[in-house]
Structure formats: structure tokens, C-alpha cells
Structure 1
């Protein structure tokens, strides 16, 4: 049985694993699915709902069986009654990005965002970061004008004055920092741990444990290589971008990778508490149809396997 693994550059671990040949050694019948090549549904209004494409493709023929994303997509999956299982999380990625405004705007805190245009990649971890930041400032989603932007386009829109604030991510955030002085409104560490995470369908986890263990083991091995060889790993991202006609800087990508944690950890109680708080806030602000029980997506043996593999890697 072929196992389909979804990948794209935003999940650094899976993107590098796609190029290393490690998983193929452990799981010969693996099929890599480039998420960028899949048809994307029309984006929804970021004022009213979260897109569910990650969970949709996990349960759609021609999609994938295992995926790695940021913080928000598994919540969307659960709220759309998708029976998923968490496989593991990374360490905190609190240096990966933050909510910023230009210094010239005069905006100095999240409390100043009422009525303002805020750029996010809607449906990603950026939605959760903004919602947590607003909640800390006693604001709601309805108090701002969220604008759905991609990683590169958001920075350009901020510089052009088309956005008042933006959740930026490295290396793209570095380009904006070089172009103008920025004010940090909310750093990631002050609101949540922002790990990468990996999840799958419950039926695959229960029926093909060997495949799940192989993917987790391959991720551990590949992530250890990234941590030891960040410049070589960065070259994969530069080559991919240049093949698509997108300028990319090797030094910037190396710096971005050096600032991120690698290695798969078991799902923790603290992480689940963060996920539950996010689910409750998303539902209360009309971004999910209802809240969910995130602990329903925990399968006991998976954490034991991740713990054992991590210990063996050390």
C-alpha cells in the first residue's frame, strides 16, 4: 500500500525530507504529494470562516495520508468532523515570525489595531497568533479588517501602505526589516508556542502503524541532519524558489533554518491546552462552526513511539 505524504516549503521538515531519500529507505512505497500542485478552493472571507483545504485533502482521493502544518489546520479539521490523529510536534518556533507594523504608522500595540487592516495567511498559524493577540488586548476578530495575503505579498502590501499591520515570517520578514523600520506589536512567544505539527487520519494510524512509525523515524533522522547542516538544507529551498522564478537568498534561508527547532516531540499537555484555547476562541469569533475537544485527536501509542525514537536519536 502506497503512503502519500504531503509536503510544501512552509513545513521545513517535510520539504527537506522529500529531497533526502530517507523515508524511501524505510518505506519503499511512498508517494510525495506537492501541496502547491493540488487544486485550491476559492479562499473564504477571513472575516467569517477558516479554509479547510488541509483537512479536505487528507480525506480526498488524490490527496495525502500524512501532512505537516502549523498550529491552526488540525483545529479546522476537527471542527469539520474529520477524524484525525496528532503524530507529533516540534519545539516552539517563537522566533519564526511576529505581528508588526511600520514605525511610521504610529501603531505601537495590538490595542491600536481596532478598525485596521491586518495581513495574515488565513487558516495558518497566523490566524491564531492574531486572534490570541487581539484577545490579550480585549479586542475581537470583528474589531479588525483581516486581509488574506501570501507570505511574500503581505510584506509588499505592508510596505506599500495597503496593510496597517502584518504577521510576518522569516525569511520574508527579513526583507521587510531591511527596507524599513518596524515596530513589533506582538511577538510570538508572548501568546503561544507555535510549533510545527504533523497529523494523519485515524484509520491510517490504527491500520498501518508501521507506516506511521516509519514516517516519524524518517523525520527524526532528517531533522537531525538539518540541524547539523542548515546551509545545505537551505539550498533545497533556494533551488525550489529559483526554479519557480522567485528570488531567494541562501544566507537568509540559512539564518531562518538556524532559528527554528528541529526534531519531533510527543504531543504535550501544554500544547493541547493551547490548541483547546485556540479552538474555543476561533469558535467564539465565528471562525469555526463550533468548538472541539482536541484531546479526541490523541492516540496513546503514538506519543510512546515518538518518545522512544527521540531518545534513540539522542
Structure 2
């Protein structure tokens, strides 16, 4: 049986694994599915709902295993899908944050009322913004969320959006052109981890394949930690091949050097943070139903990912 693994550059670990040939040694029949090549469907109004493409493809045969940020697995559960968390990364506080231009009249998060805030809607950026708004006593309806897509940096620089949840490497290019100011520090607000998950039926029926994916990711992540510039070159080459915006090797190396690599098991603390995100998404009208995050944790799967010695599992 062919095992389909979905990947894209935003999950750095899976993207590098796709190009290193490590998984093929233990799982020769793996089929790599580039998520950017799949039909994306119609994106919902960011004031009313969340994109469901990751959940849809995981459960319509598009792929069997996926890695994303915080929000997509919650969205999957909100659509009634039976997922299982496989692993999480360490906190990625340095990867992204909510910011404005240094000369903006927005001085604190509470000043976002009625303002246009750019996000990649449906990603971890939605969750970070929700946490920031909730801390400031605001709700989703108090702002004008803008799904920025690939033009986020330009929209921020041109003033089309008033604030932005930016991330590296794109954020580095912006910082070279304009002074920025953080509205709230990501650390202490949001752990911003990478997440890997699958369908429950796949986890139960293919434990050896799942273990092979986990082990290959651990090996590949160890290589990234030791060779960040070589890993960065993979992202640059991919951007050039696809004819997209020019990718900067130094910016990608900086991004990879400042991110944690290595899979960690799901912890109670992670589940609590994820549950808070799910509750906020539902309370703000972005999730069609309440979800129980703990129901997506399977002890047998969690046992595949032992803690990394010296790593911050919390």
C-alpha cells in the first residue's frame, strides 16, 4: 500500500524530508503530495469561517499524514473528522509575531478595534491573533481580518493593512525596508508549535508506517539543526523551480536557525493550549462546533515520540 505524505514549505520538517530521501529507506512506497498542487477550493470570508482544505484532503484520500501549525487540526475536528495528533515541535516564539509599523498610531492591541489586520487565515496566525485579541478584551468581530495570501508583506508595506501577523523569512525582508514595532510578544502569549497529525484509522491500521515517518522526521530534523544553510538552499531551489517570488538564502538560513527542530510527544500543557484555541475559535464564530482536543490524543501514537534529551517539551 502506498502511503501519501502531504508536504509544503510552511512545515519545514516535512519539506526537507521530502528532498532528503530518508523516509524512502524504510518506506519505499511513500507518495509525496505537494499541497500547493492540490485544488484549494473557495476560501471563506475570514470574518465567518476557516479554510478546510487540510481537513478535506486528509479525509478524501489526498494524503494520509500532514504537518501544519496550530489551527488546521482544530478545524478538522470542528468539521467532525476523527484525527490523531502524532507529535509537536518545541515552541517557535521567534518565528512570528503581531506587529505594526513603528510610526503607527496603533500603540497596543486594544487599538486594533476597527482596523485591518493581515493574517494567513486558517494557519497558526489566526490562533495567535485570537489569543492577542482575547487578552486585550476584544473579539474577532471587533477587527477587520484580512486574508493576505502571498502578498502579505507588500500589503503591510503599502498600508493596505494596519497590522500584520508576520513570520520569517518574509518578515526579514520587511524589517530591512521599514521599522516595525511589536504589539505583543509571542512568548507568553502563544507557543506557536508545528504539529503533525493523521486520521485515526490510518494510525490504527498502519503503526509501522507511522513509526517510519516519525523516525525519518527525527533523523531529518537532526540534519537541519547541523546543516541549516544546506537546508535553506532546498527552499531557495524550490522557489526558483516554481517561478515564485525570489527566495533569499540568508533569510531562509536565519529562519531555520531560529526554529526548534525535533519531534516531541503531545503533553497536557499543549492540549490545554490547543483546547483554549478551539474554544476561542468557536466562541468567535469561526468553528461550527465545539471540539474536545483531548479526544485526538492516542497513547499508542504518543509513545512513538520519546522526549528529546535536553529539549523543551513544554
| Smaller-chain TM-score bracket | over 0.9
Shift, 1:104, TM fit:
2.0
Deviates more, 1:155-164 or 1:299-308: 299-308
Mapped to 1, the partners of 2:242 and 2:108 lie a distance apart of 37
Mapped to 2, the partners of 1:145 and 1:169 lie a distance apart of 20
Q: Secondary structure at the match of 1:190?
A: coil
What is the match of residue 239 of structure 1?
Answer: 237
Mapped to 2, the partners of 1:228 and 1:184 lie a distance apart of 30
Shift, 1:190, TM fit:
2.6
Q: Secondary structure at the match of 1:46?
A: coil
Mapped to 2, the partners of 1:64 and 1:244 lie a distance apart of 22
Mapped to 1, the partners of 2:107 and 2:196 lie a distance apart of 35
Note if 1:39 corresponds to 2:39: yes
What is the match of residue 4 of structure 1?
Answer: 4
How many residues align? The count is 309
Q: Which residues of structure 1 form unaligned runs of 5+?
A: none
What is the match of residue 178 of structure 1?
Answer: 176
Mapped to 1, the partners of 2:58 and 2:242 lie a distance apart of 26
Shift, 1:69, TM fit:
0.2
What is the match of residue 129 of structure 1?
Answer: 128
Question: Within 5 A, what are the aligned runs for 1:30-109?
Answer: 30-61=30-61, 63-109=62-108
Question: Within 5 A, what are the aligned runs for 1:1-314?
Answer: 1-61=1-61, 63-150=62-149, 152-245=150-243, 246-307=245-306, 310=308
Q: Secondary structure at the match of 1:200?
A: strand
Per-residue CA distance 1:13-49 (angstroms, 9 max, x = gap) = 0000000000000111100000000001111000010
Per-residue CA distance 1:142-179 (angstroms, 9 max, x = gap) = 000000012x4111101101000000000100111111
Q: Secondary structure at the match of 1:139?
A: coil
Shift, 1:109, TM fit:
1.4
Per-residue CA distance 1:100-135 (angstroms, 9 max, x = gap) = 111122212111100000000000000000000000
Mapped to 2, the partners of 1:225 and 1:33 lie a distance apart of 22
Mapped to 2, the partners of 1:139 and 1:238 lie a distance apart of 39
- The answer to whether the 8 Å contact 1:108/1:184 transfers is no
Q: Secondary structure at the match of 1:119?
A: strand
Mapped to 2, the partners of 1:143 and 1:54 lie a distance apart of 27
Shift, 1:290, TM fit:
1.6
Q: Secondary structure at the match of 1:95?
A: helix
TM-score (norm. length: structure 2) = 0.97
Runs (4 or more) in structure 1 with deviation over 6 Å come to none
Q: Secondary structure at the match of 1:205?
A: helix
Mapped to 1, the partners of 2:299 and 2:156 lie a distance apart of 44
TM-score (norm. length: structure 1) = 0.97
Shift, 1:244, TM fit:
2.2
Mapped to 1, the partners of 2:160 and 2:132 lie a distance apart of 21
Mapped to 1, the partners of 2:102 and 2:73 lie a distance apart of 35
Q: Secondary structure at the match of 2:201?
A: helix
Mapped to 1, the partners of 2:69 and 2:84 lie a distance apart of 15
- The answer to whether the 8 Å contact 1:47/1:141 transfers is yes
